[in-house]
Amino acid sequence: MKRQILQAVAWAAVTMLAACGGGSNDNASGGGAAAPTESVKPVVRTDDLDTGAYEVSTGDAAQPVLGRYYAGADGKRLLALEDRDESIDLMLRRADASAAWVAVPAPGADLDVPLLRHQARQVSAPEASALAGRYVVRLPDGSAADFSIGADGRIASGGLSGCQLSGQLAASTLPGALALSLDCRGCAALPASATGVLVVDPLDAPASLRLLADDGGRVVDLRGHAEPGA
């Protein structure tokens, strides 16, 4: 749960900019219009690991929060933290070496997520053509949906349920991942569209793949199980 994860990391107070008073730009009647108050966006921090894929932990050493960390050579980063149900509901990401870290869901105050430990792992870069086939995923409400992946990386919705998942896969600089753009129609608890990655990781077995994405406000975490003979 989000609450369990956020209890495991340190929160700091967020600062606010004071409203500006009237100055030399007073209008003809002598009144000064105060500028609207502008809040400072919370600062998100975590460790910047070297290029590679890692299994990590954070929070309380007695009851650590486990997660995955993917680091690209271009500075792109993704940290996905799991709750006790092994579902991702807090992600930290960075677009490149010059960008700021972003947390999803967005915190209401500065968020510092120091890593207790990190262990490097060997992961293979997946290819869309090798993933071609039909997959079934379990949705947050417990129902199921299906989709197919084409050799060109196109994701097409299936007919298993009213939840229609579609999108596109492309190359990613993150190790063991493909870039993902995902559209969700009629899917309870999922955003209409999200971006992220498709990862193929032995830790997710028996799932064949995992979709990790977000729309800036909500996390998408779907484990895809390959349908035999599809």
pLDDT for 33 equals 55
Residue 3 has pLDDT above 70, yes or no: no
- Ranges of beta strands (E only) in the chain are 10-11, 44-46, 52-59, 64-71, 77-82, 88-94, 102-104, 111-113, 115-121, 133-138, 144-149, 154-157, 164-171, 177-185, 193-199, 209-214, 219-226
Residue in 91, 96, 95 with CA at minimum distance from that of residue 81: 91
User: pLDDT category, 102, cuts 50, 70, 90?
Assistant: very high
Amino acid 189: pLDDT? 85
Q: What is the pLDDT of residues 103-141, one digit of tens each?
A: 999 999 999 999 999 999 998 889 999 999 999 999 999
* 3-state secondary structure at position 78: strand
Q: Supply the pLDDT for residue 191.
A: 95
Please report where in the chains the tokens 């947390």 appear, as a residue. 103
